[in-house]
A and B are shown apart, each in its own frame.
Chain A
Amino acid sequence: MFSVCTDPSVLSAPAWFACYLTTGKLMMFYGSFGVVLLLLAITAPAALLFGFAAAAAARSPFVPLSWAGKAYIAIVRGVPDIAFFLFFVIALDQGFEWVRHKIKCPDWDQPIRQGNDFVVCAAAKLPLSTSPQWVHETYGFFLAVLTFAIVFGAFAGNVLFGAMRAVPRAQMETAEAYGMSHRQTFWRILVPQMWVYALPGLSNLWMVLIKATPLLFLLGVEDIVYWARELGGAKTARFTDYPHGDWRMWYFLALLIFYLAFTKLSEVVLSRIMRRLSHGQATAAGEAQRRTAGGPA
Protein backbone atom coordinates (compact mmCIF):
# COMPACT_ATOMS: atom_id res chain seq x y z
CA MET A 1 0.00 0.00 0.00
CA PHE A 2 2.70 2.49 1.01
CA SER A 3 5.94 2.81 -0.95
CA VAL A 4 8.05 1.96 2.10
CA CYS A 5 6.40 -1.45 2.25
CA THR A 6 8.42 -2.95 -0.62
CA ASP A 7 10.82 -4.64 1.81
CA PRO A 8 9.10 -5.12 5.17
CA SER A 9 11.95 -7.17 6.68
CA VAL A 10 14.02 -4.00 7.26
CA LEU A 11 11.23 -1.96 8.85
CA SER A 12 10.85 -1.05 12.51
CA ALA A 13 7.94 -2.57 14.40
CA PRO A 14 5.38 0.27 14.06
CA ALA A 15 6.07 0.68 10.33
CA TRP A 16 6.01 -3.11 9.86
CA PHE A 17 2.57 -3.26 11.44
CA ALA A 18 1.35 -0.30 9.42
CA CYS A 19 2.37 -2.18 6.27
CA TYR A 20 1.10 -5.56 7.49
CA LEU A 21 -2.30 -4.21 8.49
CA THR A 22 -2.86 -2.67 5.06
CA THR A 23 -2.03 -5.68 2.85
CA GLY A 24 -4.69 -6.91 0.45
CA LYS A 25 -5.25 -9.97 2.60
CA LEU A 26 -5.99 -7.92 5.71
CA MET A 27 -8.33 -5.76 3.62
CA MET A 28 -10.32 -8.89 2.83
CA PHE A 29 -10.47 -9.61 6.55
CA TYR A 30 -11.89 -6.13 7.21
CA GLY A 31 -14.31 -6.61 4.34
CA SER A 32 -15.59 -9.84 5.87
CA PHE A 33 -16.88 -7.83 8.87
CA GLY A 34 -19.05 -5.97 6.38
CA VAL A 35 -20.21 -9.29 4.91
CA VAL A 36 -21.25 -10.54 8.35
CA LEU A 37 -23.05 -7.30 9.26
CA LEU A 38 -24.82 -7.23 5.91
CA LEU A 39 -25.87 -10.83 6.35
CA LEU A 40 -27.34 -10.05 9.76
CA ALA A 41 -29.05 -6.92 8.46
CA ILE A 42 -30.79 -8.91 5.71
CA THR A 43 -31.34 -12.16 7.57
CA ALA A 44 -32.95 -10.75 10.71
CA PRO A 45 -35.94 -9.09 8.99
CA ALA A 46 -36.23 -12.01 6.55
CA ALA A 47 -36.32 -14.53 9.41
CA LEU A 48 -38.88 -12.39 11.22
CA LEU A 49 -41.02 -12.38 8.10
CA PHE A 50 -40.79 -16.18 7.79
CA GLY A 51 -41.59 -16.52 11.49
CA PHE A 52 -44.53 -14.15 11.31
CA ALA A 53 -45.98 -15.99 8.32
CA ALA A 54 -45.48 -19.34 10.07
CA ALA A 55 -47.09 -18.16 13.31
CA ALA A 56 -50.01 -16.54 11.49
CA ALA A 57 -50.48 -19.74 9.47
CA ALA A 58 -50.22 -21.95 12.56
CA ARG A 59 -53.11 -20.14 14.31
CA SER A 60 -55.23 -19.91 11.16
CA PRO A 61 -58.74 -21.38 11.46
CA PHE A 62 -58.18 -23.04 8.06
CA VAL A 63 -56.83 -26.45 9.09
CA PRO A 64 -54.39 -27.34 6.23
CA LEU A 65 -52.74 -23.92 6.55
CA SER A 66 -52.46 -24.37 10.28
CA TRP A 67 -50.87 -27.79 9.78
CA ALA A 68 -48.42 -26.39 7.25
CA GLY A 69 -47.34 -23.66 9.66
CA LYS A 70 -46.97 -26.06 12.57
CA ALA A 71 -45.12 -28.67 10.48
CA TYR A 72 -42.60 -26.07 9.26
CA ILE A 73 -41.92 -24.89 12.80
CA ALA A 74 -41.60 -28.41 14.19
CA ILE A 75 -39.45 -29.93 11.43
CA VAL A 76 -36.95 -27.11 11.03
CA ARG A 77 -36.56 -26.69 14.78
CA GLY A 78 -35.79 -30.38 15.07
CA VAL A 79 -33.06 -30.64 12.42
CA PRO A 80 -29.51 -29.72 13.53
CA ASP A 81 -28.29 -26.48 11.93
CA ILE A 82 -25.15 -28.03 10.52
CA ALA A 83 -27.07 -30.83 8.81
CA PHE A 84 -29.44 -28.25 7.45
CA PHE A 85 -26.56 -26.20 6.09
CA LEU A 86 -24.75 -29.12 4.49
CA PHE A 87 -27.73 -30.91 3.05
CA PHE A 88 -30.47 -28.38 2.49
CA VAL A 89 -28.42 -25.73 0.69
CA ILE A 90 -26.96 -28.18 -1.82
CA ALA A 91 -30.43 -29.63 -2.35
CA LEU A 92 -31.92 -26.15 -2.77
CA ASP A 93 -29.25 -25.18 -5.30
CA GLN A 94 -29.75 -28.42 -7.21
CA GLY A 95 -33.52 -27.91 -7.08
CA PHE A 96 -33.18 -24.49 -8.73
CA GLU A 97 -30.86 -25.92 -11.38
CA TRP A 98 -33.16 -28.87 -12.02
CA VAL A 99 -36.12 -26.55 -12.68
CA ARG A 100 -34.04 -24.34 -14.98
CA HIS A 101 -32.73 -27.42 -16.75
CA LYS A 102 -36.26 -28.65 -17.45
CA ILE A 103 -37.29 -25.28 -18.86
CA LYS A 104 -34.15 -24.30 -20.78
CA CYS A 105 -32.92 -27.61 -22.15
CA PRO A 106 -35.95 -29.74 -23.02
CA ASP A 107 -34.03 -31.80 -25.60
CA TRP A 108 -31.28 -32.90 -23.22
CA ASP A 109 -31.11 -36.69 -23.38
CA GLN A 110 -28.48 -37.55 -20.76
CA PRO A 111 -29.48 -38.35 -17.19
CA ILE A 112 -29.03 -35.55 -14.63
CA ARG A 113 -27.73 -37.91 -11.99
CA GLN A 114 -24.65 -39.72 -13.28
CA GLY A 115 -23.35 -41.74 -10.37
CA ASN A 116 -22.31 -39.12 -7.84
CA ASP A 117 -22.39 -36.30 -10.35
CA PHE A 118 -25.17 -33.79 -10.74
CA VAL A 119 -25.05 -32.72 -14.37
CA VAL A 120 -27.31 -30.10 -15.92
CA CYS A 121 -26.84 -28.33 -19.25
CA ALA A 122 -24.57 -25.27 -19.27
CA ALA A 123 -27.49 -22.85 -19.71
CA ALA A 124 -29.18 -24.15 -16.55
CA LYS A 125 -26.19 -23.63 -14.29
CA LEU A 126 -26.86 -21.22 -11.46
CA PRO A 127 -25.02 -18.94 -11.64
CA LEU A 128 -23.78 -19.55 -15.19
CA SER A 129 -20.20 -20.78 -15.11
CA THR A 130 -19.32 -17.84 -17.37
CA SER A 131 -20.40 -15.29 -14.75
CA PRO A 132 -17.66 -13.39 -12.97
CA GLN A 133 -16.58 -14.46 -9.52
CA TRP A 134 -18.61 -11.78 -7.71
CA VAL A 135 -21.84 -13.21 -9.14
CA HIS A 136 -20.95 -16.60 -7.68
CA GLU A 137 -20.15 -14.99 -4.36
CA THR A 138 -23.38 -12.99 -4.30
CA TYR A 139 -25.37 -16.10 -5.19
CA GLY A 140 -23.70 -18.05 -2.38
CA PHE A 141 -24.42 -15.18 -0.03
CA PHE A 142 -28.12 -15.15 -0.87
CA LEU A 143 -28.35 -18.91 -0.51
CA ALA A 144 -26.88 -18.38 2.95
CA VAL A 145 -29.39 -15.63 3.75
CA LEU A 146 -32.26 -17.82 2.59
CA THR A 147 -31.08 -20.80 4.64
CA PHE A 148 -30.52 -18.71 7.75
CA ALA A 149 -33.95 -17.11 7.27
CA ILE A 150 -35.63 -20.52 7.01
CA VAL A 151 -33.83 -21.93 10.07
CA PHE A 152 -34.24 -18.88 12.28
CA GLY A 153 -37.72 -18.24 10.88
CA ALA A 154 -38.90 -21.50 12.43
CA PHE A 155 -37.61 -20.48 15.85
CA ALA A 156 -39.05 -16.98 15.45
CA GLY A 157 -42.34 -18.58 14.36
CA ASN A 158 -42.52 -20.54 17.58
CA VAL A 159 -41.77 -17.44 19.66
CA LEU A 160 -44.41 -15.38 17.84
CA PHE A 161 -46.98 -18.17 18.03
CA GLY A 162 -46.56 -18.22 21.81
CA ALA A 163 -46.65 -14.41 21.96
CA MET A 164 -49.92 -14.31 20.02
CA ARG A 165 -51.46 -16.70 22.53
CA ALA A 166 -50.19 -14.59 25.41
CA VAL A 167 -52.27 -11.57 24.38
CA PRO A 168 -55.19 -11.51 26.89
CA ARG A 169 -58.25 -13.19 25.44
CA ALA A 170 -60.43 -10.42 26.89
CA GLN A 171 -58.83 -7.92 24.50
CA MET A 172 -59.84 -10.04 21.53
CA GLU A 173 -63.36 -10.58 22.84
CA THR A 174 -63.81 -6.87 23.34
CA ALA A 175 -62.73 -6.23 19.77
CA GLU A 176 -65.14 -8.86 18.49
CA ALA A 177 -67.92 -7.32 20.60
CA TYR A 178 -67.29 -4.05 18.77
CA GLY A 179 -68.02 -5.89 15.56
CA MET A 180 -64.48 -6.24 14.18
CA SER A 181 -63.86 -9.05 11.72
CA HIS A 182 -61.32 -11.81 12.30
CA ARG A 183 -58.83 -9.99 10.09
CA GLN A 184 -59.36 -6.70 11.88
CA THR A 185 -58.88 -8.12 15.37
CA PHE A 186 -55.70 -9.84 14.16
CA TRP A 187 -54.10 -6.74 12.67
CA ARG A 188 -55.46 -4.06 15.03
CA ILE A 189 -55.51 -5.79 18.42
CA LEU A 190 -53.37 -8.92 18.37
CA VAL A 191 -50.32 -7.87 16.34
CA PRO A 192 -49.65 -4.53 18.09
CA GLN A 193 -49.88 -6.18 21.50
CA MET A 194 -47.96 -9.39 20.90
CA TRP A 195 -44.50 -7.80 20.38
CA VAL A 196 -43.99 -7.11 24.04
CA TYR A 197 -44.41 -10.84 24.73
CA ALA A 198 -42.28 -11.84 21.76
CA LEU A 199 -39.32 -9.56 22.30
CA PRO A 200 -37.43 -11.51 25.01
CA GLY A 201 -37.55 -14.65 22.86
CA LEU A 202 -36.66 -12.76 19.68
CA SER A 203 -33.73 -11.02 21.36
CA ASN A 204 -32.35 -14.44 22.33
CA LEU A 205 -32.63 -15.54 18.72
CA TRP A 206 -30.84 -12.42 17.55
CA MET A 207 -27.94 -13.14 19.91
CA VAL A 208 -27.69 -16.73 18.63
CA LEU A 209 -27.83 -15.51 15.03
CA ILE A 210 -24.92 -13.10 15.58
CA LYS A 211 -22.74 -16.00 16.60
CA ALA A 212 -23.94 -18.47 13.97
CA THR A 213 -22.11 -16.82 11.06
CA PRO A 214 -19.10 -19.20 11.01
CA LEU A 215 -21.53 -21.71 9.48
CA LEU A 216 -21.18 -19.52 6.38
CA PHE A 217 -17.88 -21.07 5.34
CA LEU A 218 -19.68 -24.38 4.81
CA LEU A 219 -21.31 -22.51 1.92
CA GLY A 220 -18.03 -21.05 0.68
CA VAL A 221 -18.75 -17.57 2.07
CA GLU A 222 -15.59 -16.34 3.78
CA ASP A 223 -16.61 -14.85 7.11
CA ILE A 224 -14.55 -13.26 9.88
CA VAL A 225 -13.78 -16.55 11.63
CA TYR A 226 -12.41 -18.08 8.41
CA TRP A 227 -10.10 -15.10 7.85
CA ALA A 228 -9.00 -14.98 11.48
CA ARG A 229 -7.97 -18.63 11.23
CA GLU A 230 -6.26 -18.18 7.87
CA LEU A 231 -4.42 -14.99 8.86
CA GLY A 232 -3.55 -16.13 12.36
CA GLY A 233 -1.83 -19.34 11.26
CA ALA A 234 1.97 -19.33 11.36
CA LYS A 235 3.56 -18.01 8.15
CA THR A 236 7.05 -18.81 6.89
CA ALA A 237 9.13 -16.19 5.09
CA ARG A 238 9.16 -18.09 1.82
CA PHE A 239 5.54 -17.42 1.02
CA THR A 240 4.88 -13.99 2.49
CA ASP A 241 6.72 -10.74 3.09
CA TYR A 242 5.30 -10.73 6.61
CA PRO A 243 6.35 -13.95 8.35
CA HIS A 244 5.02 -14.46 11.87
CA GLY A 245 4.34 -17.20 14.39
CA ASP A 246 1.01 -18.59 15.49
CA TRP A 247 -1.09 -15.44 15.95
CA ARG A 248 -4.47 -17.10 16.08
CA MET A 249 -4.85 -16.11 19.72
CA TRP A 250 -4.60 -12.40 18.82
CA TYR A 251 -6.95 -12.69 15.91
CA PHE A 252 -9.52 -14.57 17.95
CA LEU A 253 -9.07 -12.03 20.73
CA ALA A 254 -10.02 -9.32 18.22
CA LEU A 255 -13.08 -11.37 17.27
CA LEU A 256 -13.98 -11.79 20.93
CA ILE A 257 -13.93 -8.03 21.41
CA PHE A 258 -15.98 -7.53 18.27
CA TYR A 259 -18.62 -10.04 19.34
CA LEU A 260 -18.80 -8.71 22.90
CA ALA A 261 -19.14 -5.13 21.70
CA PHE A 262 -21.77 -6.16 19.21
CA THR A 263 -23.86 -8.11 21.72
CA LYS A 264 -23.57 -5.23 24.21
CA LEU A 265 -24.82 -2.78 21.59
CA SER A 266 -27.65 -5.17 20.75
CA GLU A 267 -28.63 -5.37 24.41
CA VAL A 268 -28.80 -1.59 24.72
CA VAL A 269 -30.93 -1.27 21.61
CA LEU A 270 -33.20 -4.16 22.57
CA SER A 271 -33.81 -2.81 26.07
CA ARG A 272 -34.81 0.54 24.54
CA ILE A 273 -37.25 -1.18 22.21
CA MET A 274 -38.63 -3.14 25.15
CA ARG A 275 -39.20 0.06 27.09
CA ARG A 276 -41.13 1.57 24.21
CA LEU A 277 -43.20 -1.54 23.61
CA SER A 278 -44.13 -1.84 27.29
CA HIS A 279 -45.59 1.66 27.24
CA GLY A 280 -49.28 1.47 28.03
CA GLN A 281 -49.36 -2.35 28.06
CA ALA A 282 -51.17 -4.38 30.70
CA THR A 283 -47.94 -6.13 31.73
CA ALA A 284 -45.77 -5.81 34.86
CA ALA A 285 -43.28 -3.60 32.99
CA GLY A 286 -46.04 -1.44 31.56
CA GLU A 287 -47.64 -1.11 34.98
CA ALA A 288 -44.30 -0.06 36.54
CA GLN A 289 -43.91 2.62 33.86
CA ARG A 290 -47.37 3.92 34.62
CA ARG A 291 -46.59 4.14 38.34
CA THR A 292 -43.30 6.02 37.87
CA ALA A 293 -45.09 8.43 35.55
CA GLY A 294 -47.35 9.25 38.52
CA GLY A 295 -50.45 7.29 37.58
CA PRO A 296 -52.93 6.22 40.32
CA ALA A 297 -51.95 3.05 42.22
Chain B
Amino acid sequence: MKKLLLGTAALAFSAGMALASDVVRMGTEGAYPPYNFINDAGEVDGFEREMGDELCKRAELTCEWVTNDWDSIIPNLVSGNYDTIIAGMSINDEREKVIDFTQDYIPPATSSYVALSEGADLKGIVAAQTSTLQAGYITESGATLLEFSTADEIIAALKSGEADAVFFDTDYLAPIVEESGGELMFVGEQVTLGRGTGMGLRKSDTELKDKFNAAITSMKEDGTLNTMLVKWFGEGTDTY
Protein backbone atom coordinates (compact mmCIF):
# COMPACT_ATOMS: atom_id res chain seq x y z
CA MET B 1 0.00 0.00 0.00
CA LYS B 2 2.74 2.34 1.04
CA LYS B 3 4.68 1.57 -2.11
CA LEU B 4 1.60 2.17 -4.18
CA LEU B 5 1.09 5.56 -2.56
CA LEU B 6 4.71 6.44 -3.06
CA GLY B 7 4.46 5.32 -6.67
CA THR B 8 1.41 7.49 -7.36
CA ALA B 9 3.06 10.41 -5.62
CA ALA B 10 6.15 9.99 -7.79
CA LEU B 11 3.99 9.68 -10.88
CA ALA B 12 2.00 12.77 -9.97
CA PHE B 13 5.24 14.60 -9.32
CA SER B 14 6.80 13.65 -12.64
CA ALA B 15 3.56 14.50 -14.42
CA GLY B 16 3.77 17.88 -12.72
CA MET B 17 7.32 18.29 -13.95
CA ALA B 18 6.34 17.44 -17.50
CA LEU B 19 3.71 20.16 -17.40
CA ALA B 20 6.09 22.53 -15.68
CA SER B 21 6.79 24.79 -18.61
CA ASP B 22 3.20 24.81 -19.77
CA VAL B 23 1.51 26.89 -17.07
CA VAL B 24 0.99 30.38 -18.36
CA ARG B 25 -0.02 33.15 -16.02
CA MET B 26 -2.39 35.56 -17.73
CA GLY B 27 -2.23 39.09 -16.33
CA THR B 28 -5.30 41.28 -16.67
CA GLU B 29 -6.80 44.37 -15.07
CA GLY B 30 -10.27 43.14 -14.10
CA ALA B 31 -11.86 46.60 -14.32
CA TYR B 32 -12.63 47.03 -18.00
CA PRO B 33 -15.91 45.47 -19.09
CA PRO B 34 -16.68 43.96 -21.56
CA TYR B 35 -12.98 43.18 -22.16
CA ASN B 36 -12.27 41.92 -18.66
CA PHE B 37 -13.94 42.38 -15.31
CA ILE B 38 -14.54 40.62 -12.01
CA ASN B 39 -17.95 38.92 -12.05
CA ASP B 40 -20.34 38.47 -9.13
CA ALA B 41 -18.57 35.28 -8.10
CA GLY B 42 -15.29 37.18 -7.81
CA GLU B 43 -13.70 35.57 -10.89
CA VAL B 44 -12.17 37.16 -13.96
CA ASP B 45 -14.81 37.24 -16.71
CA GLY B 46 -15.41 38.99 -20.03
CA PHE B 47 -14.44 38.69 -23.68
CA GLU B 48 -10.76 38.23 -22.93
CA ARG B 49 -11.42 35.55 -20.33
CA GLU B 50 -13.49 33.49 -22.78
CA MET B 51 -11.10 34.05 -25.66
CA GLY B 52 -8.00 33.52 -23.51
CA ASP B 53 -9.29 30.19 -22.21
CA GLU B 54 -10.00 29.10 -25.80
CA LEU B 55 -6.51 30.18 -26.91
CA CYS B 56 -4.94 28.21 -24.07
CA LYS B 57 -6.99 25.15 -25.01
CA ARG B 58 -5.87 25.37 -28.63
CA ALA B 59 -2.24 26.00 -27.71
CA GLU B 60 -2.45 23.17 -25.13
CA LEU B 61 -1.39 25.38 -22.27
CA THR B 62 -2.65 25.50 -18.70
CA CYS B 63 -3.59 29.06 -17.93
CA GLU B 64 -3.97 30.83 -14.61
CA TRP B 65 -5.62 34.26 -14.36
CA VAL B 66 -4.20 37.03 -12.20
CA THR B 67 -5.24 40.65 -11.81
CA ASN B 68 -2.88 43.59 -11.56
CA ASP B 69 -3.18 47.35 -11.37
CA TRP B 70 -3.19 48.97 -14.83
CA ASP B 71 -0.43 51.41 -13.83
CA SER B 72 2.09 48.68 -13.06
CA ILE B 73 0.88 46.05 -15.54
CA ILE B 74 3.92 46.31 -17.86
CA PRO B 75 6.65 46.42 -15.14
CA ASN B 76 5.19 43.32 -13.51
CA LEU B 77 5.16 41.45 -16.83
CA VAL B 78 8.75 42.38 -17.53
CA SER B 79 9.94 41.32 -14.09
CA GLY B 80 8.22 37.95 -14.54
CA ASN B 81 5.25 38.05 -12.14
CA TYR B 82 3.04 36.77 -14.95
CA ASP B 83 3.64 35.76 -18.55
CA THR B 84 1.11 37.66 -20.67
CA ILE B 85 -0.88 40.87 -20.58
CA ILE B 86 -4.39 40.29 -21.87
CA ALA B 87 -6.12 43.46 -20.78
CA GLY B 88 -7.57 45.21 -23.82
CA MET B 89 -4.16 46.69 -24.53
CA SER B 90 -3.79 48.39 -27.90
CA ILE B 91 -0.68 47.73 -29.89
CA ASN B 92 1.39 50.88 -30.36
CA ASP B 93 5.00 51.87 -30.99
CA GLU B 94 5.69 53.21 -27.53
CA ARG B 95 4.68 49.95 -25.85
CA GLU B 96 6.47 47.87 -28.47
CA LYS B 97 9.78 49.35 -27.32
CA VAL B 98 9.35 47.54 -23.99
CA ILE B 99 7.27 44.44 -24.75
CA ASP B 100 6.21 42.32 -27.72
CA PHE B 101 2.66 41.87 -28.96
CA THR B 102 0.91 38.96 -30.61
CA GLN B 103 -1.12 39.71 -33.71
CA ASP B 104 -4.28 41.66 -32.93
CA TYR B 105 -7.32 39.75 -31.70
CA ILE B 106 -9.65 42.76 -31.79
CA PRO B 107 -9.61 45.06 -34.85
CA PRO B 108 -8.54 48.68 -34.24
CA ALA B 109 -11.22 50.02 -31.91
CA THR B 110 -12.93 53.37 -32.05
CA SER B 111 -12.87 55.87 -29.22
CA SER B 112 -15.64 58.35 -28.49
CA TYR B 113 -16.42 61.42 -26.47
CA VAL B 114 -19.23 61.15 -23.94
CA ALA B 115 -20.70 64.19 -22.22
CA LEU B 116 -23.72 65.33 -20.27
CA SER B 117 -25.08 67.56 -23.07
CA GLU B 118 -24.74 67.99 -26.85
CA GLY B 119 -22.95 71.32 -26.55
CA ALA B 120 -20.15 70.10 -24.28
CA ASP B 121 -16.76 71.71 -24.80
CA LEU B 122 -14.51 69.01 -26.24
CA LYS B 123 -11.52 71.34 -26.01
CA GLY B 124 -12.19 71.95 -22.32
CA ILE B 125 -11.40 69.45 -19.58
CA VAL B 126 -11.54 65.90 -20.89
CA ALA B 127 -11.05 62.86 -18.67
CA ALA B 128 -9.24 59.68 -19.80
CA GLN B 129 -7.52 56.73 -18.17
CA THR B 130 -3.79 57.03 -17.42
CA SER B 131 -1.33 55.50 -19.92
CA THR B 132 -3.92 54.84 -22.62
CA LEU B 133 -3.96 55.79 -26.29
CA GLN B 134 -6.94 58.00 -25.52
CA ALA B 135 -4.97 59.98 -22.92
CA GLY B 136 -2.24 60.54 -25.51
CA TYR B 137 -4.80 61.65 -28.09
CA ILE B 138 -6.38 64.19 -25.73
CA THR B 139 -3.01 65.74 -24.92
CA GLU B 140 -2.45 66.34 -28.62
CA SER B 141 -6.00 67.55 -29.27
CA GLY B 142 -5.40 70.73 -27.29
CA ALA B 143 -7.88 69.93 -24.54
CA THR B 144 -6.90 69.78 -20.88
CA LEU B 145 -6.36 66.16 -19.92
CA LEU B 146 -7.67 64.90 -16.59
CA GLU B 147 -6.22 61.46 -15.84
CA PHE B 148 -7.61 58.70 -13.63
CA SER B 149 -6.17 55.29 -12.87
CA THR B 150 -9.36 53.35 -13.66
CA ALA B 151 -11.99 53.75 -16.39
CA ASP B 152 -14.76 53.78 -13.81
CA GLU B 153 -13.38 56.95 -12.25
CA ILE B 154 -13.54 58.95 -15.48
CA ILE B 155 -17.31 58.37 -15.65
CA ALA B 156 -17.63 59.46 -12.02
CA ALA B 157 -15.65 62.62 -12.84
CA LEU B 158 -17.99 63.39 -15.75
CA LYS B 159 -21.11 62.92 -13.63
CA SER B 160 -19.75 65.09 -10.82
CA GLY B 161 -18.99 67.88 -13.29
CA GLU B 162 -15.25 67.69 -12.74
CA ALA B 163 -14.75 67.02 -16.46
CA ASP B 164 -16.62 68.48 -19.45
CA ALA B 165 -16.39 65.21 -21.34
CA VAL B 166 -14.69 61.83 -21.24
CA PHE B 167 -12.80 60.24 -24.11
CA PHE B 168 -12.53 56.49 -24.06
CA ASP B 169 -13.05 53.20 -25.83
CA THR B 170 -16.50 53.13 -27.51
CA ASP B 171 -17.16 49.52 -26.52
CA TYR B 172 -16.63 50.34 -22.87
CA LEU B 173 -18.78 53.46 -23.00
CA ALA B 174 -21.70 52.05 -25.03
CA PRO B 175 -23.44 50.02 -22.26
CA ILE B 176 -22.92 52.85 -19.79
CA VAL B 177 -24.51 55.42 -22.12
CA GLU B 178 -27.32 52.98 -22.96
CA GLU B 179 -28.25 52.45 -19.32
CA SER B 180 -27.84 56.03 -18.16
CA GLY B 181 -31.40 56.84 -19.25
CA GLY B 182 -30.43 59.84 -21.36
CA GLU B 183 -28.14 61.43 -18.78
CA LEU B 184 -25.03 60.63 -20.80
CA MET B 185 -24.63 60.89 -24.57
CA PHE B 186 -22.07 60.40 -27.30
CA VAL B 187 -20.89 63.70 -28.78
CA GLY B 188 -18.48 64.57 -31.56
CA GLU B 189 -16.82 62.22 -34.03
CA GLN B 190 -15.55 58.74 -33.33
CA VAL B 191 -11.80 58.31 -33.67
CA THR B 192 -9.95 55.13 -34.58
CA LEU B 193 -6.77 54.77 -32.57
CA GLY B 194 -4.01 52.18 -32.47
CA ARG B 195 -3.38 49.06 -34.45
CA GLY B 196 -5.81 46.73 -32.72
CA THR B 197 -5.68 44.92 -29.41
CA GLY B 198 -3.07 42.24 -28.84
CA MET B 199 -1.60 40.18 -26.05
CA GLY B 200 1.56 41.59 -24.50
CA LEU B 201 4.51 39.30 -23.88
CA ARG B 202 8.12 39.63 -22.77
CA LYS B 203 10.45 40.18 -25.72
CA SER B 204 12.41 37.08 -24.69
CA ASP B 205 9.33 34.83 -24.78
CA THR B 206 9.30 34.20 -28.53
CA GLU B 207 8.16 30.59 -28.25
CA LEU B 208 5.05 31.53 -26.27
CA LYS B 209 4.34 34.33 -28.71
CA ASP B 210 4.42 31.87 -31.64
CA LYS B 211 2.01 29.55 -29.83
CA PHE B 212 -0.50 32.29 -29.15
CA ASN B 213 -0.15 33.71 -32.67
CA ALA B 214 -0.95 30.28 -34.09
CA ALA B 215 -3.96 29.92 -31.78
CA ILE B 216 -5.28 33.37 -32.70
CA THR B 217 -4.89 32.56 -36.41
CA SER B 218 -6.85 29.35 -35.99
CA MET B 219 -9.61 31.18 -34.12
CA LYS B 220 -9.76 33.80 -36.85
CA GLU B 221 -9.93 31.15 -39.56
CA ASP B 222 -12.76 29.06 -38.17
CA GLY B 223 -14.82 32.11 -37.18
CA THR B 224 -14.96 31.45 -33.42
CA LEU B 225 -13.24 34.74 -32.74
CA ASN B 226 -15.90 36.64 -34.70
CA THR B 227 -18.68 34.84 -32.82
CA MET B 228 -17.12 35.87 -29.52
CA LEU B 229 -16.61 39.46 -30.66
CA VAL B 230 -20.28 39.74 -31.59
CA LYS B 231 -21.34 38.05 -28.34
CA TRP B 232 -19.44 40.51 -26.13
CA PHE B 233 -19.38 43.71 -28.18
CA GLY B 234 -22.79 43.39 -29.88
CA GLU B 235 -23.99 43.27 -33.47
CA GLY B 236 -22.26 45.72 -35.74
CA THR B 237 -18.86 45.54 -34.06
CA ASP B 238 -15.83 45.21 -36.35
CA THR B 239 -14.93 41.59 -37.01
CA TYR B 240 -12.32 39.80 -39.08
| A binding-site residues for B, Cβ under 8 Å | 23-25, 27-28, 86, 90, 93-94, 97, 114-120, 122, 125, 128-130, 132-133, 136, 217-218, 220, 222, 229-230, 233-234, 236-243, 246, 248
Q: Name A238's contact: one of B21, B25, B69, B175 (CB within 8 Å).
A: B175
Q: Name B76's contact: one of A94, A122, A220, A243 (CB within 8 Å).
A: A220
Does B136 lie at the interface of the complex (its beta carbon under 8 Å from any beta carbon of A)?
Answer: no
Write the nearest CB–CB distance from B48 to chain A, whole angstroms. Answer: 13
Write the nearest CB–CB distance from A168 to chain B, whole angstroms. Answer: 50
Q: Name A24's contact: one of B42, B78, B79, B176 (CB within 8 Å).
A: B42
| B204 A114 Cβ-Cβ under 8 A | yes
| B23 A234 Cβ-Cβ under 8 A | no
| B binding-site residues for A, Cβ under 8 Å | 16, 19-21, 23-25, 30-31, 33-34, 37-43, 45-46, 64, 66-69, 72, 75-76, 78-81, 83, 98-99, 150, 152-153, 155-156, 159, 175-176, 178-179, 202-204
Give Cα A27 to B40, complex, Å: 10
Write the nearest CB–CB distance from A231 to chain B, whole angstroms. Answer: 9
| B25 A25 Cβ-Cβ under 8 A | no
| B42 A28 Cβ-Cβ under 8 A | yes
A117-B204, A234-B156 given; A25·B42 CB < 8 A: yes
Write the nearest CB–CB distance from B204 to chain A, whole angstroms. Answer: 5
Give Cα A115 to B203, complex, Å: 8
| A24 B41 Cβ-Cβ under 8 A | yes
Give Cα A202 to B78, complex, Å: 38
| A229 B23 Cβ-Cβ under 8 A | no
| B176 A125 Cβ-Cβ under 8 A | no
Residues of A within 8 A of B67 (CB): 220, 222
Give Cα A248 to B64, complex, Å: 29
Across the A-B interface, the 9 shortest Cβ-Cβ residue pairs: A233-B152, A24-B41, A24-B42, A25-B42, A239-B33, A28-B42, A23-B40, A236-B175, A117-B204
| B16 A229 Cβ-Cβ under 8 A | no
Residues of B within 8 A of A114 (CB): 203-204
| B34 A238 Cβ-Cβ under 8 A | yes
Give Cα A62 to B16, complex, Å: 51
| B179 A243 Cβ-Cβ under 8 A | yes
| B41 A230 Cβ-Cβ under 8 A | no
| B25 A118 Cβ-Cβ under 8 A | no
| A218 B69 Cβ-Cβ under 8 A | yes
Give Cα A240 to B43, complex, Å: 12
A24-B41, A90-B75, A93-B79 given; A117·B203 CB < 8 A: yes
Q: Name A239's contact: one of B20, B37, B203 (CB within 8 Å).
A: B37
| B204 A230 Cβ-Cβ under 8 A | no
Q: Jot down 6 A-B pairs with beta carbons below 8 A, ordered by A.
A: A97-B80, A120-B80, A136-B25, A217-B69, A236-B33, A236-B175
